[in-house]
A = this chain, B = another copy of it.
Amino acid sequence: VSLETALAGALEGGPVLTDPALTASYETDWTGAFSGRARCVVSPATADAVGRVLRVCASYGVGVVVQGGNTGLVGGSVPGGGEVVLSTRKLCGLGPVDPVARQVTAGAGVPLAQVQRAARGAGLSYGIDFAARDSATIGGTVATNAGGVRVLAHGTTRAQVLGVEAVLADGSVLRRLGGLAKDATGYDLAALLTGSEGTLAVLTAVRLRLLPPDPPLQTALVGLAGLAEGLVVLSRVPDLHAAEVMDRAGVSLVCAVAGLAEPLPAVHPAYLLIEAPDLAALADLAGPGELDAVVAADGADRARLWAYRERHSEAIATRGVPVKLDVALPLAALPAFAAELPGVLAAGTRRVVFGHLGDGNLHVNLLGAAPSDADAVLRLVAACGGSIGAEHGVGRAKVSWLHLSRSPAEIAAMRAVKAALDPGGLLNPGVLLPT
């Protein structure tokens, strides 16, 4: 029988999409930068069905690409060409919130925003948030160890994951959703799978830690002479919950595209959006007039200030398909990196840099980039002791630069783990590890 017929059997009659009109939306990522043909698209609804799908694909020797909300930025969830796309959209069960243990179990295909709403409904909060919250799935956030705007206070996705249900390439199901706060009975397979970008197993559900709601936060937008001044703010304002940095190019672009007014009376080389329970220390940082800053007066004002940050991606997209680089640097190396960045880019390249200053995480967006630009930026990152991938992952986009951030010994160890759990190289071939 054909692969498609065998898959239909594995899905007990569920659809196997092959019509290009139906598969097209699974074959290109939302930025338009990555695309590849799918052999077909399947949407199993249970872990057992995922296991049957994987066994069929293994027996036919066809690779499998896992796709959640398809909001990734490194091409990790679209086919390289000819794989079966396994969509997690039917793995959409969301369990009840346990208010005592402060936990919830979510299917891999549940959107991030739905988990956030469920937490709020129980008087709690989920530790991860970013702009793609309505489309990005929990499974995708775990597979990429997603970060976002709350990492400074609550850690990355790895810190929220208490357990997983996942299916290995041989179809066997790992299920550990009990949510025990302590469990020292061997290797933490959940921690290993978190951030593995679908190359070790297909995540089908996760047990998540929930948090008490944040205390009331004050929000301020501060004009900066540069990143060094931002680091001073970081070191002086206690208990920061957010510290988002933007350069002048990005704020100008957002103002133009979104029709927003300039955020501050003066124009600055950079801007820092901060949140903390108490911003009194900000006033102590400089004498009157020395720091150009505005503190949000109310919730509407807070949303107004956040718009400068959250509308960056859409504003940039109006100017073309950018090269998106997502890098992390040691805090102390940030000013040197920013100073050297213009010098490594081709003359005509326009750059918009923003990101999460408190985590040392910058999003370097390049418009009209020369072919050499990405390589030059990532080599500069490595020379500064940084990482070529901070929160978007490696995917297909960064795989040829993995060696800049990982030693041969580390890559060999990763290959050994990959071969142990997916000996046939079935899962997300071409993603993360060079083939």
Contacts and interface: CB of A to CB of B under 8 A. Distances in A.
A314 B364 CA distance: 57
Nearest to A398: B185
A231 B101 CA distance: 10
Given A183-B389, A184-B144, A330-B101, A410 B189 contact: yes
Contact of A181 (B168, B360, B402): B360
A360 B180 contact: yes
Chain A contact patch, size range? 35 or more
Contacts of A151: 181-182
Interface in A377-406: 385-394, 398, 402, 405-406
A312 to B, nearest CB: 18
Given A101-B332, A185-B402, A186-B196, 8 more contacts: A178-B385, A181-B359, A182-B390, A182-B391, A185-B387, A186-B402, A189-B414, A191-B194
Contacts of A100: 231, 234-235, 331-332
A233 to B, nearest CB: 12
Contacts of A159: 155, 159
B144 A178 contact: no
A421 B416 contact: yes
12 contacts: A101-B330, A147-B182, A159-B159, A172-B409, A172-B412, A174-B407, A180-B387, A182-B328, A182-B359, A186-B410, A186-B433, A417-B417
A406 B180 CA distance: 13
Nearest 10 Cβ contacts at the A-B interface: A420-B420, A191-B191, A416-B420, A182-B390, A172-B409, A183-B387, A185-B405, A181-B359, A185-B389, A184-B389
Contacts of A150: none
Interface in A164-211: 168, 172-176, 178-189, 191-192, 194-196, 200
A212 interface: yes
Contacts of A168: 409, 413
- If over half of A's interface residues share one DSSP class (helix, strand or loop), that class is named, otherwise mixed; here it is loop
A330 B98 CA distance: 11
A361 interface: yes
A192 B181 contact: no
A342 interface: no
A419 interface: yes
Contacts of A417: 187, 192, 417, 420-421
A182 B101 CA distance: 27
Nearest to A231: B100
Contacts of A419: 420
A155 B191 CA distance: 14
Most buried by B among A183, A235, A407: A183
A156 interface: yes
A145 interface: yes
A432 interface: yes
Contacts of A194: 188, 191
A320 interface: no
Contact of A394 (B145, B184, B406): B184
Contacts of A388: 185
B420 A184 contact: no
A238 interface: yes
Interface in A315-362: 326, 328-332, 356, 358-361
